[in-house]
Amino acid sequence: MKVAAIQMVSTPDVHANFEAARAWIAEAAAAGAELVALPEYFCLMGLSDQDKLAIAEPLADADVAGTASTPMQHILAETAREHGIWLVAGTLPIRTPDAERVFNTTLVYGPDGRRMARYDKIHLFCFEDGQRRYDEAAVLLAGHELVAFDLPARDGRNWRIGLGVCYDLRFPELFRALGRTQPLDLIVLPAAFTDTTGQAHWELLLRARAVENLCHVLAPAQGGLHASGRRTFGHSMAVGPWGEVLAVKRDEGGGVVLAELDHGRQTAIRRQLPALQHRVL
pLDDT, tens digit, 9 for 90 and up, residues 171-218: 999 999 999 999 999 999 999 999 999 999 999 999 999 999 999 999
User: In this structure, is the dihedral angle defined by the CA atoms of residues 60, 61, 66 and 68, taken in order, positive or negative?
Assistant: negative
User: Which positions are catalytic?
Assistant: 40, 121, 166
> Would you tell me how many other CB atoms lie within 10 Å of the CB of residue 270?
16
Statement: the pTM of the whole predicted model exceeds 0.85 = yes
The domains found in the chain, sorted by start residue, are 2-278 (3.60.110.10)
Distances (CA, A) of 243 to 71, 194, 202: 38, 23, 13
Quote the Cα angle for 235-239-241, to 5°. Answer: 165
pLDDT at position 9: 98
The segments of the chain whose pLDDT lies below 70 read 64-68
The DSSP element (H or E) to which 19 belongs, if any, is helix 14-30
pLDDT at position 244: 98
Q: Spell out the residues 6+ positions from residue 201 whose beta carbon is closer than 8 angstroms to its own.
A: 170
164 by Cβ neighbours in 10 Å (0-12 / 13-18 / 19+) ranks as buried
pLDDT at position 16: 98
pLDDT at position 64: 63
